[in-house]
Each structure stands twice: as structure tokens, then as C-alpha cells.
Structure 1
């Protein structure tokens, strides 16, 4: 959606600049003729106009309503969490390049996510009772690292080297086959009971204290793990954990697409959206659930149906009598 939005903004700037005639400026030419900006605009409008306008409207109404509640510090902090999860800035930049994105575009999408989160919070009407109930079920995330290998004997040899003073991070880079975590020094973060990791992994990790690693290989369907416990925080009081509890609770709400749609709809309904171009009224479909905001016919007016041939014949016969 953000790619479409960015493209639309750049395209609009192109259209508004340098127009030389009713057809706009020339954007391409072939032996068959020229393609003008107005022609390109109309074609893009017919294909992507409604979707693009919908994206713009959603972003604008959310920004207008919650913009002062989402700071640059909030955006930077969330982006940094993703950078850390990816294994550092270099790895994150490589990931962005592979996705065709930049740090600027990821910050834009991150800001939009935070704006949506504010809408979800308002729509759900998050209460103290809900947060307290969530706290009772909530457990702090554990941060572990692991080395995954296919062979049990190799796992035992790695443990022997760790016992002799080998560095765990270096052993991750040399031996681990888990491509998903190796770029982040084998880091795996999970909340107990969340099903983020397999049961064998969770059980073995829960038995460790900070700074300890498993003395025996841990077998799972993926192979053999050597697990190191980095951080195992204790659960604080509700007041101590409240900020994290609210964040975690809202994140759980954000996994429900219907809740997100209803929250955006709530904001849009109160934003007096009027689409002047009748060809683009479908932009409201995904927001308000209606394709048009044009004036409807008065529902109180009755419309007489044309009489059927049989009814007409009966009327004529009755008149004759």
C-alpha cells in the first residue's frame, strides 16, 4: 500500500509540472505516436485510482486524528526493535534492499502502524479491567540464543568446546544451521506458552538461569539445539509492567484484521469524507462499506410499478362493465 501511495505522490507531482497542452506533457513516444501525461493519468486512475485514493484517505484521517500522539521517538524506537531483531543495521539494510524498501519508507509504514494502533485502542476502548486481566495471563519474554545442528555427536562436541571456554556467539556463526537466527547471533525471543518455539526448546530454556547453557543437546523436529539463556526477567507488579502490558495487549488486538478495519471505519465515519470524482467513489468501499457518497433518493417516495399485461386487461374489462 505504501509503495502505491509513494508512487501516486510522485506521479501527481509529475502531472502538475510542465504541462504544455490539454493532453499534458509527453511522457513517452514511439513510432506509433506519443503517450501524454493526461492519458497516463486516466489509465492509472481507472486501474489503481480507487485503491490509491483509499490509501491516501486512510493515512490522512489517521494522521489528523492521532498525529500528535505518535512521536518521532516512538517511530525510531519501533524501527530500532526491528533493526535489533534483524541482527544489526547492516543486516536490516540488506533486508530492506531485498524488499525494495529504504529506511525512509519503513519509517513511513511504521508510523502508519502506530497511527492504526491508536485507532484500535480508541475503538476497543481499552479499559483498566482488560489490562489487568491481560496482566494475569502475561509473562515477560525470555531472550535466548541457540546453536542448531543436524547431528547429535556434533552438538556434543560443541558443548565440549563451550565447556573449554569457546565463545557461544562465535560457535553460532561457525556451526548453526538456523539461517533465521544465525545473522542475529542465534537470538530467539519468546514468551512462555506462546508457541513461538517448539515445546522441547521452551522446556529446556525454562530450566536455565541467565548465563547458563544446556549441558546436553536438546532434540526437536528441527535437529539438535544448544541453548543459552541471555535474559530471564522476573514478572513485576501490574503498575511496574503496565506500559508493556498495554503495548502487548494492543499488539494482540492488531492481529485481528476485522478489528483494524472497524477502527479505521470509525475514524473515517467521523471525518466527513467527500469524494468529488464520481469515478473514484469506490474508494469508500473498503472504508465505509459503501461505493458511493452521492445523494440517495428519498426512501419515503413510493415508485409505482408498471402494470402487467394481465392487470391492464383486467382494468379495461372492469371499465367496460
Structure 2
């Protein structure tokens, strides 16, 4: 999960930690060959992509924090931070460094992402149709045990032993290379279909099983670099749509958060409402990615709305034309009947 999260946050925090020191004659570096002033540093910094992104981040954070800051707690940010740190263990600092971050900039990135999420919640309206679609594909908590092998052949050998009546828990302790589960006979922490820590192929294979069944074909795993045999122990029953409606909205929010263009459009709309005025003319375009995304989304929405109105107008016109035709045909029929009746009277 955190590999995906860090991948998103790198773009958010690429320049976090760089400081715009301000414009002035004060030297921030002195050498025998000459000094580097704050003004010189600022001049070069604002030309760099990292410096421009940092300014954009600072503006976005201020604007969104002013509007949604009360919905993002420091406690929740710290929990995400600790979860990521635990996930990476001893590799945490190295992973941050490889992505151009330190612990402070990572926390800031988590906060910006949390604020963006609140903006998405406030601006996105999900239809009942969308919520029901999410509900139909949702799988509740399931409990499984796994055996992880380093090769497909090894996995097939384990499956052959299971087919002969071998005990899954015993084989997990003997054969599995998954150090997190083998001591417990392969038992994993329960998960549902929204769990981002697990690969889609793994979840799909697990949810297809009935209680007590195990996968008869090895399930390849890129993240674990091996092959899983999965056994289903139990699965929670699925609650009603009304009971899970709120959760379905959360699922759709997470899906929206993975759509970078849509998130940028929502942030751009919020920036437009905040009347942002960048004083330095050379930095006028630092928010262009967001404002352009917002403009494109607005134009697309307007176009869709126009097409919908045009379609309704066409249907209305067609209906009116049909009614007019029916009225004309009725009048013609009545006129014909009247003429026929008159002719009959004359004959008499």
C-alpha cells in the first residue's frame, strides 16, 4: 500500500524542505570567492521545478487548511505516518530519501493529501447508481491462510500434498517462506475488497473460494516475488446496501483520489474561490496545472449539460410533433366522418 502512497506523495512533496528565504541583501553563504545572498538564492530557486512545486504546495495547503483544516486531525496524520514507518521498518528512512523526502516533508505530504481528500468529499456528489455499483462489487471481510513459495513448481508440489489430505497449517509452517504468517499456520489478518495492501489477483482468488477450499492453481505475486496457495477460513456476511451506503461513498472517494486529474480539477476550483494573487510575475503559472484542470472539467460538465438539455428538448419536440400529428389525424378523421354523415343525409 505505502509504495503506492509514496508514489503519489512524491509529486506532492517533491520540493518540501526547500525554503524560500525571501528577497534581501543578507548572505546565507560566505566564501573567499564571494557570498551567496538570499536574493540570489531566491532568484535561482523560483526558476527550478522543485521550487515552483514547493510554492504551489504551500498555497494549496494554506487554502485547503483554511476551509477543511478542522476535518484533518494531527492524530490521524501521525497514525498514517506510524503505519508507513512500521510497514517499511528499517528501510523507512532510506525509502523516504530515495523519494526526495525526509520525515517532516512526508508528514506535510500526508497532510496535503488529507486536505485534498476533504475537498473531494465536499465537491463530489455520487449518484445512487454509482453507490450501488460499488456495493455490488464489494466483498466484506474474509479470513484466509496462505502458503508462499519461491517458485510455481514448489507451489504445485504443496497443492499436490494438500490434494492427498495434507494439513494446511502444518504445511504452512514447513513450506511457507512468508515470515509474517508461517508461525501461525499461514493465518493472515482479515481483509475486504478495499484493502490496498493486497494485490487484486490475490483478493480475487480469495473471494472466489468457499469456506474450507484452497486454490488449486498457484497465485502469482509480484510484490512478494513468489506464488501463493490460499485457503479460505471464513467470510463475513454482506450487510444491506443501506447499512453500507456510507462505506460505499468512502470507497468512491478513494477511487476519485486515485484520479490525479480529477483531484487537480477540484483543487483548482478551490483555488479559484480563494482569490489567490501571486505577486511575483515570474511565478504566475505555478498553479496552472490545477487551474487548467478545473477549467477543462468545467467545460466538460457544461458540454454534457448542454447535450442533456438538447436531448430533452429534442424529445420534447418529438413528443409535441407526435401529439400534433395525432391531433391532425384525429381532426381529419372527424372531418371525414362528418362529410360521410352529411352525404348520407342528402341521399335520404
Q: What TM-score bracket applies, with the shorter chain setting the length?
A: 0.5 to 0.7
Q: 1:70 touches 1:114 (CA, 8 Å); kept in 2?
A: yes
Report deviation, 1:169: 6.3
Q: Decide which of 163, 172, 175 is 2:176's aligned counterpart.
A: 172
Higher RCO, 1 or 2 (CA under 8 Å, sep at least 6)?
Answer: 1
Q: Decide which of 9, 13, 20 is 1:2's aligned counterpart.
A: 13
Task: Give the structure-2-normalised TM-score.
Answer: 0.61
Q: 1:26 touches 1:36 (CA, 8 Å); kept in 2?
A: yes
Q: Decide which of 287, 290, 295 is 1:284's aligned counterpart.
A: 287
Say which structure is richer in helix.
2
Q: For residues 71 and 220 of structure 1, what CA distance do their matches in structure 2 show?
A: 39
- Other-structure match for 2:241: 238
- Other-structure match for 1:91: 88
Number of equivalences: 263
- Other-structure match for 2:265: 262
- Other-structure match for 1:52: 54
Q: For residues 248 and 81 of structure 2, what CA distance do their matches in structure 1 show?
A: 20
Report deviation, 1:259: 1.2
Q: 1:133-148, aligned counterparts within 5 Å?
A: 133-140=133-140, 142=142, 144=144, 145-148=146-149
Report deviation, 1:81: 5.7
Q: Indicate how the Cα distance of structure 1 residues 71 and 46 shifts in structure 2: closer, same or farther if over 3 A, else same.
A: same
Q: Decide which of 62, 65, 69 is 1:63's aligned counterpart.
A: 65
Q: For residues 80 and 227 of structure 2, what CA distance do their matches in structure 1 show?
A: 33
Report deviation, 1:273: 0.5
Q: For residues 246 and 93 of structure 1, what CA distance do their matches in structure 2 show?
A: 36
Q: For residues 35 and 131 of structure 2, what CA distance do their matches in structure 1 show?
A: 62
Q: Indicate how the Cα distance of structure 1 residues 116 and 53 shifts in structure 2: closer, same or farther if over 3 A, else same.
A: same
Runs of 4+ in structure 1 off by over 6 angstroms are: 184-188
Task: Give the structure-1-normalised TM-score.
Answer: 0.65
Q: For residues 115 and 276 of structure 2, what CA distance do their matches in structure 1 show?
A: 18
Q: For residues 165 and 123 of structure 1, what CA distance do their matches in structure 2 show?
A: 48
Report deviation, 1:92: 4.0
Report deviation, 1:154: 4.4
Q: Indicate how the Cα distance of structure 1 residues 170 and 65 shifts in structure 2: closer, same or farther if over 3 A, else same.
A: farther
Q: 2:147 touches 2:177 (CA, 8 Å); kept in 1?
A: no
Report deviation, 1:240: 2.8
SS of 1:46's equivalent in the other structure is coil
- Cα root mean square deviation, aligned: 4.0
Report deviation, 1:196: 4.3
- Other-structure match for 2:42: 41
